[in-house]
Structure 1
Amino acid sequence: MPILPIFIVVLCATLITPAYASLSLDEAISNAISHDRWIDSNRYQEHAIRSDAIASGQLPDPKVRVALANLPTDSFDFNQENMTQLQLGISQQFSRGDSLEIKQRQLSLMADQKPLERHERRALIKQKVGQLWVLLHQHQAQAQLLKANQSLFQELVAISQAHYRSGNLQRYELLDAELKMTQLHDRLAKLEQLKNQTRHQLLEWLTVPDELDALPTELPEIPILLTQQQLKSEAQVDKVLLKHPLLQQFEQRVEIQQKAVDLADEAYKPSFKVDAGYGYRDDMPNGMDRADFFSMALTFDLPIFPEKRQDATRNAAIGQREAVKEQRFLKARQIKTTFGFELANLAGLEQRLSIYDRGLLRQLKEKRSAALQAYGASTARFNDVSAAALSELEIKLQKIALTHERAATLLRLNYLLAGIDPELQRQSSRPLELK
């Protein structure tokens, strides 16, 4: 049979994909982080809060009073009456207890949250952009595999047509071969659609659209941030997970709410206001000297009915503090549970990939070779050869999907370990420029 040797060559051809100089996973993550406007916005917010902290720790500006008092209206003569004075006064308000210092510390703690927010943002970008890059790479690899096997399906159709003309093939078998070719075109079109969708999702984060047209051929290995020995120790895993920037933010919030409690405690103390005044009087009309006046006053309030104001404010602050503590506990439990889930998912994926590598792909290859030999000896139908080839192709596509799902799982695990990620700790922001 003259077509069979050509078919065997096409069927046994190895997929060789050319390498493209394009955007690697690390380059995509670095580009997304360095051009993230949210990080810049967050840094401006930190600068603003630190400036507010400085201002909030200062006493209010003193008030100066200048007055002309008791001027007679019959003559408007300054030295006519004893009571006529040119008054100069100054007053200063003092806050309750240490409330200014506490407010300043509270705002400083709020500003200290911002670097933690940026750390978590960078970790989130690394996960999201990484997963989108991996998904785009998966679509590309699957499309390349299908394109490489497109000639195989074309040969299947050609051989089926030749056998049909010679009477060795039923019409439904010819239609089946043509249907498989159509299905291949549909799968390629679907993969192209998914590639374009994922590409546009990546463009939300990246500034290099042209480099997304063809990613590197090889999927990079993504190491987990913990050693196998550390993963076996629940105590070490818990210790690392508690360093996650989200949990560190909750720690800061607890301290901020504690300062609110401290501020509420200061409300039980009085506030003070000091007034000082000087009154200048002119000499009498006969030249006799008139003494000037000096006055001073101290004004303060007494919180002697605290039930409806101070007590209620303090109870509210304590409630907010305890609520944040509970939220911290829930978030810690969620992170630990998610980490265990993703770790179990990783173990399952690696086990399945091991089955693919050690047995399944080899068995399918042997089945395909046996079908070819049987078909060459006229002891098997053409559908057996077609089914064996399609099964092997389908399993290769599934292996690509599993390999990329493993990479995405590692990215999600490393996000949960962001507290010890050296790459995120090395990330430095551009200098802050105030306009």
Structure 2
Amino acid sequence: MGSANRRRHQVALASLCLFISGAAVGLSLDRAIQLAQANDPWLHGSQLRESALAAEAISASTLPDPTLSFGAANLPTDSFDIRQEGMTQTSIGITQRLPRGDSRLLMSTQKRQLSQQQAMLRADRRAKVAVTVSQLWLEGYRAEQSMALIERTRPLFEQLLTLSRSNYGAGLARAGQQDIISAELALSRLDDRLLMLQQQRDTARDQLSEWLGTEAITAFSTDTFRDIRIRDIKDRRLASALQAHPAIRAIEQTIAVAQSDVALRQEQYKAEWAVNAKYAHRADDPLGNDRADLFSIGVSVDLPLFTAKRQDQNLSAAQARAEANRTDKALLLRKMMANLKTQFNRLQGIDERLTLYNSRLLREARKQVSVNLNAYQNDKGDFREVIQAQIDALNVDIDALNLRIDRQKTSVNIAYLLAGEHHE
């Protein structure tokens, strides 16, 4: 008896929570997505990475810092007197290195390409966040609406329990104790389903809190879902839409970076030059006669003559990476196209089932309840059939709800795959 009271207390609490949450202003799907995208630290980090790469692009395009040198040459070792010998001199020089070919421009281009890639990665991230949050929100919405269906049906089961008790107490021949037990069992099963659904709803809320931060989720508001129709999908140019997907564009940018790297490796076959200038001062001789100062200028060059072990290998590696990136793009396109076809077929199947539910199953389930109840009231039916018919009707309602939710989940997946139509 104590466990039964506790169960009723828990169910009452669940019902109260459902009533309160239904009265409160709930969290809409669009609002949940907006909050999640606004609170995503990855997007902020991507903006910082973009700024850093843009700054590095400017830095990479500039010449290396010149090298300044100071020295004293030809000092006499017997006295270290700078005026003793005419060749003794103190000097200051500067050297400027000139990187190979267009390597500065290519390194700057690489950094700029990587910086531009961040916008594409952010677009893909926002689309993925929308999918994740939508799936969690829909799970919470599914549980909450299922609880509402059970709460709406529960008074009917209570009436059946009251009817069975009344008939049994009146000593009617058709009434038996098994009818009361059947009605009580049905109510207990409803209580169990309510508690299970409450747990599912709370789990969805907890998982959403990871994305929504401090936003309190009181309820999942009834939302106007985006309607994706089959004919709309068929009419679209799916291949071009996938080509414009942010994830594909990000890989294309990776390919462009790799191509710049190939060009940079080719520049390593060119010579690297350096220009140097030196001014040397000579002190007066011991008699006070003036000595002319000296000025020198020159160039130096390194010659990449032995390329087999370094330049050739580096170029080969860069070319292989570029081709590997093209392979990654082809694989991702193939995967996304297969996923899109799968989601499309799933959506078509769900629509066919929804048509069946709306045209027949929902009506037939309610008709079965009415027919069985009338038969029982006219001593032509079994009470357990009345209970089972009511359970079947509830299950059909919940199954129809699940199909609508599954349709929206499929629509969310399709919307992600077609995100290229709305890329920034």
Is TM-score (shorter-chain normalized) higher than 0.5? yes
Kept in 2: contact 1:274–1:299 (CA 8 A): yes
Instruction: Find the residue that maps to 1:335 and give its secondary structure.
Output: helix
CA distance in 1, matches of 2:161, 2:365: 22
| Structure 2 residue 68 is the aligned partner of structure 1 residue 64 | yes
Paired residue secondary structure (2:72): strand
Give 1:232's aligned amino acid: K
1:111 partner letter: S
Maintained 8 Å contact 2:25/2:218: no
State the Cα distance separating 1:183 from its structure 2 match: 1.0
- Say whether 1:149 aligns with 2:150: no
Look up the match of 1:180. Answer: 186
Aligned to 1:24: 28
CA displacement, residues 208-227 of structure 1 (integer Å, 9 cap, x when unaligned):
542x22222x3422133xx7
Are 2:403 and 1:402 equivalent residues in the alignment? yes
Partners of 1:228 and 1:366 lie apart in 2 by: 32
Shift of 1:160: 2.5
2:89 and 2:307 map into 1 onto residues whose CA distance is 42
Paired residue type of 1:213: T
- The alignment covers a number of residue pairs equal to 403
Are the aligned partners of 1:142 and 1:397 in contact in 2 as well (CA < 8 Å)? yes
Partner in structure 2 of residue 35 of structure 1? 39
Alpha-carbon shift at residue 229 of structure 1 (Å):
5.5
For 2:64 and 2:22, the matched residues in 1 are separated by 71
**Partner Cα separation in structure 2 for residue 29 and residue 301 of structure 1:** 58
Query: Which amino acid is 2:105 matched to?
Result: E
Report the alpha carbon displacement of residue 287 of structure 1 after superposing the two structures with TM.
2.8
Give the aligned partner of residue 392 of structure 2: 391
Contact 1:137 1:219 in 2 (8 A): no
- Aligned pair partner of 2:234 in 221, 232, 235: 232
- Partner of residue 213, structure 1: 218
RMSD: 1.9
Deviations 1:23-46 (A, max 9, x none): 211111111111211100110011
Counterpart CA distance in 2 for 1:318 and 1:259 is 10
Secondary structure of the residue that 1:378 maps to in structure 2?
coil
TM-score, length of structure 2 as denominator length: 0.90
Find the residue that maps to 2:213 and give its secondary structure.
Answer: coil
Q: CA deviation at 1:230?
A: 5.4
Of 184, 190, 197, the residue aligned with 2:196 is 190
Equivalences for 1:6-21 in 2 at 5 Å? 20-21=24-25
Of 131, 139, 145, the match for 2:143: 139
Q: Which residue of 2 aligns with 1:363?
A: 364
Q: Does 1:292 align with 2:293?
A: yes
Further displaced range: 396-405 or 78-87: 78-87
Q: Deviations over 1:26-74 (max 9, x none)?
A: 1111111112111001100110111111111111110111123333455
1:338 to partner: Cα distance: 0.6
Deviates more, 1:166-175 or 1:307-316: 166-175
Q: Which amino acid counterpart does residue 67 of structure 1 have in structure 2?
A: G
User: Which residue of 2 is the match for residue 278 of structure 1?
Assistant: 279
Classify 1:18/1:107 alpha carbon distance in 2 versus 1 (closer, same or farther; 3 Å).
closer
Give matches, 1:26-425, under 5 Å: 26-72=30-76, 74-165=78-169, 166=171, 168-210=174-216, 212-216=217-221, 218-224=222-228, 231-233=233-235, 236-421=237-422, 425=424
Q: What secondary structure is seen at the aligned counterpart in 1 of 2:93?
A: strand
Q: Which runs of 5+ in 2 are unaligned?
A: 1-18
Task: Write the distance in 1 (CA, Å) between the matches of 2:267 and 2:317.
Answer: 15
Q: Which runs of 5+ in 1 are unaligned?
A: 1-15, 426-435
Q: How much has 1:237 moved relative to structure 2?
A: 1.3
Q: What TM-score, normalized to structure 1?
A: 0.88
Q: One-letter code of the match for 2:182? A: D
Matched residue SS, 2:397 = helix
Percent sequence identity over aligned pairs:
33
Match of 1:5 in 2: none
Between the aligned partners of 2:226 and 2:137, the Cα distance in structure 1 is 13
Q: Residue 79 of structure 1 aligns to which amino acid in structure 2?
A: R
CA distance in 2, matches of 1:366, 1:67: 106
Matched-pair contact (CA < 8 Å) for 2:94–2:278? yes
